[in-house]
């Protein structure tokens, strides 16, 4: 096995613009069945248009202008179909359509999907608020499952509980199309400011 620590440091140091580069649209995508284009990586023409909200404009395909997770646009969220619909420093919204691939053996939506929604939109929210000061990393995810789901579209909304110098705490509500509360979570993230480059 290679040096995992070295690989993580390499990925973390990649410029955001390079890390978020999308695949060549002229190459036929391949990937797991059930994805709209057969690929876990969305092509540029497949991304939804930027949306303007009260807090500003955000490209939902990239999550946010401040999101520094490498290859965010072609990561796990895209694999399960989670779509960021709007993001401001005070609120992030996302939707997910329940598919058979996301169900557990009893035919219910897997709890890990709900945890993922909490983790993902809470992280995007923290990153948008923290902005150019650095990046954020999740340190605690507490998700309560309140109602089972077998189909339909879910909407997750992240709002702040606390935003401080070193950490943030976000509340995430996940509701179905009838506005019933399916799950409620809290995500705590640590704020990691950019390090000063040593001068020679």
Report how far Cα 152 is from the mean position of its chain's Cα atoms.
Answer: 20
Sign of CA dihedral 40, 20, 125, 84: negative
Report how far Cα 190 is from the mean position of its chain's Cα atoms.
Answer: 16
Residues 6+ apart with CB under 8 A from 122: 92, 138, 141, 158, 170, 172, 185, 186, 187, 189
- Residue 119 annotated as catalytic: yes
Q: What is each CA distance from 145 to 11, 80, 84, 109, 113, in whole angstroms? A: 33, 18, 21, 11, 11
Helices (H), 41-110: 76-80
| Selected catalytic residue, list 7, 14, 54, 119 | 119
Catalytic residues: 119
């Amino acid at each position: 096995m290679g040096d995992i620590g070295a690989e993580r440091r390499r990925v973390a140091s990649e410029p955001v613009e390079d890390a978020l580069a999308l695949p060549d649209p002229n190459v036929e995508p391949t990937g797991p069945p059930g994805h709209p284009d057969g690929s876990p990586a969305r092509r540029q023409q497949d991304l939804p248009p930027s949306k303007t909200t009260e807090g500003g404009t955000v490209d939902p395909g990239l999550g946010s202008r401040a999101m520094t997770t490498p290859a965010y646009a072609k990561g796990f969220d895209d694999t399960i179909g989670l779509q960021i619909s709007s993001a401001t420093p005070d609120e992030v919204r996302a939707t997910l359509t329940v598919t058979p691939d996301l169900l557990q053996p009893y035919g219910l939506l897997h709890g890990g999907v709900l945890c993922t929604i909490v983790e993902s939109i809470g992280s995007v929210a923290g990153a948008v608020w923290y902005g150019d000061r650095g990046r954020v990393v999740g340190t605690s995810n507490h998700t309560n499952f309140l109602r089972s789901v077998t189909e339909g579209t879910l909407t997750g909304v992240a709002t702040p509980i606390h935003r401080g110098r070193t950490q943030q705490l976000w509340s995430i509500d996940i509701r179905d199309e009838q506005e019933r509360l399916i799950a409620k979570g809290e995500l705590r993230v640590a704020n990691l400011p950019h390090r000063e480059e040593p001068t020679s």
